[in-house]
């Protein structure tokens, strides 16, 4: 692990080390068979699958496959065993009430070993969130990637990933700058497909049963209105610690211009 962070700024080093642990957790999930019922989604999926230029904290999944194959507690135990076999002190916890189940993997000593912390007992944690009742309409795909280890990732396809991000922008009850950065990243790629509207509308209905359905003509304007009302200082403060460089930061005008080009 030390070689991964040698010479890096401490904040960047923590991001890089967390990403290594994320990759090893994904490897453990893959070995445990979790990639059959689960579909990878969210910012970390976008980074590992498509090269998003920001780091991420969590691993997000939707339970799209057979429910009888779902075993978050068993998967977390398998990941802990994997880390312990390699000499790392790891522990897991699970909260499986409600629709979104959360597992935590915490690795003790990795920050100290790599020189990123003077505290031997400090842990570095990664949260694993699983939406066990995801909205209908997602389309999935499988892709082989290499990030520290070889991973065969079952994931939401590109149109469904964009739909998930639009839902987060519109319905998250607090301002998450990483959502806005990701939105700009999607929209600045002219080859990225339009959002999966079936999935987007199903997700919005889960958040607000009275919401007016969006279509190809209306979604850019609705999203633009949401972006227009955000505090950009809050957006920047949230996303900046995760960017590969400050040159990656986007302005509100940039995002609104991209939405206007899509019809907003």
Residue 193: what pLDDT? Answer: 97
Confidence at residue 246, expressed as pLDDT on a 0 to 100 scale: 84
At residue 1, the pLDDT reads 74
- Contact (Cβ atoms closer than 8 angstroms) between residue 101 and residue 74: no
pLDDT at 4: 86
pLDDT of residue 245: 87
Residue 3: the pLDDT is 84
The pTM of the full predicted model, rounded to 2 decimals, is 0.95
Q: Which domains does the chain have, with CATH numbers?
A: 1-156 (3.10.450.620), 158-264 (no CATH)
Mean pLDDT by 10 residues, the chain (264 residues): 85 95 97 97 97 96 97 98 94 97 96 92 96 98 95 98 98 97 97 98 96 96 97 97 91 97 82
**Are 178 and 239 contacting, i.e. CB atoms less than 8 angstroms apart?**
yes
132: exposed, middle or buried (C-beta count within 10 Å: 0-12, 13-18, 19+)?
Answer: middle
């Amino acid at each position: 692990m030390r070689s991964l962070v040698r010479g890096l700024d401490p904040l960047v080093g923590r991001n890089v080390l967390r990403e290594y642990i994320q990759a090893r957790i994904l490897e453990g999930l893959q070995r445990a068979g979790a990639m059959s019922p689960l579909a990878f989604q969210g910012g970390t999926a976008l980074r590992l699958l498509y090269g998003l230029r920001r780091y991420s904290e969590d691993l997000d999944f939707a339970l799209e496959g057979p429910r009888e194959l779902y075993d978050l507690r068993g998967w977390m135990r398998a990941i802990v065993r994997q880390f312990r076999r390699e000499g790392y002190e790891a522990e897991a916890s699970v909260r499986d009430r409600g629709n979104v189940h959360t597992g935590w993997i915490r690795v003790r000593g990795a920050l100290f070993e790599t020189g990123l912390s003077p505290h031997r007992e400090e842990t570095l944690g990664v949260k694993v969130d699983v939406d066990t009742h995801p909205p209908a309409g997602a389309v999935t795909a499988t892709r082989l990637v290499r990030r520290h280890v070889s991973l065969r990732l079952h994931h939401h396809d590109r149109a469904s990933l964009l739909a998930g991000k639009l839902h987060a922008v519109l319905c998250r009850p607090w301002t998450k700058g990483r959502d806005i950065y990701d939105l700009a990243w999607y929209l600045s790629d002219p080859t990225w497909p339009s959002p999966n509207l079936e999935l987007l509308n199903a997700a919005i209905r889960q958040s607000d049963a009275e919401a007016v359905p969006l279509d190809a003509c209306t979604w850019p304007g609705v999203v633009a209105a949401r972006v227009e009302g955000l505090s950009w200082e809050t957006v920047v403060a949230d996303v900046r610690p995760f960017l590969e460089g400050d040159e990656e930061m986007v302005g509100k005008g940039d995002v609104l211009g991209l939405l206007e080009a899509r019809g907003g």
